Amino acid sequence: MNKIKILLAEDDFNLGKILTSYLEAKGYSIVLCVNGQEAYQAYLDEPFDICLIDVMMPVKDGFTLTKEIRKADKEIPIVFLTAKSMHDDIIKGFSLGGDDFITKPFSMEVLLARIEAVLRRSKDAGDKTVISVYQVGKYKFDPLNQTLNLKDNEIKLTSKEAELLRLLCEHMNDVLDRTYALNKIWNNDSYFNARSMDVYITKLRKYLKEDSNIELLNVHGVGFKLIVNS
């Protein structure tokens, strides 16, 4: 069984090491980052099951980091670690998509209980929303079989085309971050891979052109947006 992987963003290195040792002893896999920028890069580089994010960090604070993660992934659980218990900060954290707040100092047992509770809620929600076939306007997209169907016409997609369309469907009517997509599909955001992705976007536009209610837009400097008008 694969270990649950936690992204831990904590600028207090000593506390970070203590938390890492404790959670590893409890069977979790931990990646410790000491600022928000380092944490965001780690998030882009590999998949995680949950994020523990300190609010006050150098280079990039926890709220900014959360905004960037939420642009790419609306589902991953995020728990804030904070030395402050100010009402406004808590409201802001939840409004940005945080799932829980833990105020320092906290006991390790409480931290573990909160992590387990958030993961349970996330799993329950995920079990209810598994999508095997996406309805994209008049099209049916089957990511597992890599097919796109319109009435009796079936288009067989390449693996990269299917992966890219799946990410676009997951972010339908919202922006898919370019860097996130490159790291998820190509494992790096090099210039060559970016140009390859542009080619695949052009191909997907061609495949979807039979439905005038579908738009696949470039969002300059950010990414792409699959719009399906009802």
pTM: 0.58
If you average pLDDT over residues 3-11, what whole number do you get? 95
The pLDDT value recorded for residue 214 is: 96
CATH assignment of 134-228, given 3.30.160.150, 1.10.10.10, 3.20.20.20, 3.40.50.2300?
A: 1.10.10.10
Give the contacts of 36 (CB within 8 A, at least 6 positions apart). Answer: 9, 53, 57, 58, 59, 60, 61, 62, 64, 65
**Which residues of the chain form beta strands (DSSP E)?**
5-9, 29-33, 50-54, 78-82, 100-103, 134-136, 139-142, 147-150, 153-156, 175-177, 214-219, 223-228
What does the pLDDT look like over 109-150, one tens digit per residue?
989 998 998 888 777 655 545 568 999 999 999 988 899 999
Q: Which CATH number fits domain 5-128: 3.20.20.70, 3.40.640.10, 3.40.50.300, 3.40.50.2300?
A: 3.40.50.2300
pLDDT of residue 131: 64
22-72 pLDDT per residue, tens? 999 999 999 999 999 999 999 999 899 999 999 999 999 999 999 999 888
Q: Which DSSP symbol is given to 55?
A: S
| Cα angle 115-97-124, degrees, rounded to a multiple of 5 | 50
Task: Tell whether the model's pLDDT for residue 85 goes beyond 90.
Answer: no
pLDDT at 128: 46
- Domain assignments of the chain as residue spans, ordered by start: 5-128, 134-228
* Higher per-residue pLDDT: 216 or 128: 216
pLDDT tens, residue by residue, 155-191? 999 988 999 999 999 889 988 888 888 888 887 778 8
